[in-house]
Amino acid sequence: MLNRFRLVGLLTLVYALSASFADLRTVDVQFVPYWGDKPLKADSVYFSEKNGDSIRFTQFRFYISDFILHENIIAGAVTDYQLIDLSTGPSAANTIQYHSMGRITEFTFNLGIDSATNVNGVGSGVLDPTNGMYWAWHSGFINLKLEGTSPSCTKNRGKFQYHLGGYSAPYNTLRQVKLPYETDDEHIRIKVDLKKFIDGVNMKEQAVVMSPGADAMKLSDNAVSMFSILK
């Protein structure tokens, strides 16, 4: 046990010393909504070949956290929660500061809110329930909210509502997104392709998912596929 504590202390010291000699750098991160190869525009109508019908989006929001820049030597992290709202277009650029001793090779972030934060209940700022991303009836956060209209959704009066959440086993919907970083550009633009999400849904049979369960788990897996780097 003592050796373990010594090892942890040594690693902490090495990291601190490394950071002290590293350069302080910044990276701007922006999320940009797309439909296939076209930027998503508010109030525009799109066509889903998979569902065979038109579709319009009215709300698209999600939480991210634990944004980590992985280098070949060291990693820098931003753990604060951020609520990304792409309902009307690209998000504002978020500036990340980190100590660099190498070249960034990839980055990861969590899509959603972790179990510990859910258990702690409502908070302030982006975790305030007035943001409309919290289930009072279930006492848990909504990781991702996507709403809109389509004639395909005959079982819900032409509307679709996908509110993905859940933090308890076996229905923990928190997902990690991992993306390669193949440029030295300090402005990272992340494409969020809603076509990939919608293609994984039978909107005629599944127009509403608004509680934890197997359906939310499946759609959360599908949501990871939306993210890629814009080049």
- Write out pLDDT tens, residues 51-109: 999 999 999 999 998 888 887 655 666 668 999 999 989 998 777 776 666 677 888 99
* H or E segment to which residue 141 belongs: strand 140-149
Which residues on adjacent β-strands are paired with residue 117? Answer: none
Q: Could you tell me which residues come within 8 angstroms of residue 203 by beta carbon, excluding any fewer than 6 positions away?
A: 48, 51, 53, 55, 150, 152, 153, 160
Q: Which residues of the chain have pLDDT under 50?
A: 1-2, 4-5, 7-19, 21
What is the reported pLDDT for 27?
80
In a 10 Å sphere around its CB, with 0-12 CB exposed, 13-18 middle and 19+ buried, how is residue 7 labelled?
exposed
Alpha carbon separation from 122 to 85, 103, 138, 175 (Å, rounded)? 19, 38, 12, 20
Cα torsion angle, 199, 203, 205, 210, sign? positive
- Tell which residue, 85, 212, 210, has the closest CA to residue 156: 210
Amino acid identity for residue 220 in this structure:
S
- Tell which residue, 102, 89, 107, has the closest CA to residue 28: 107
What is the reported pLDDT for 26?
79
Alpha-carbon span 84 to 95, nearest angstrom:
14
Provide the whole-model pTM. Answer: 0.86
Over the chain, what is the mean pLDDT?
A: 86
SS3 at position 29: strand
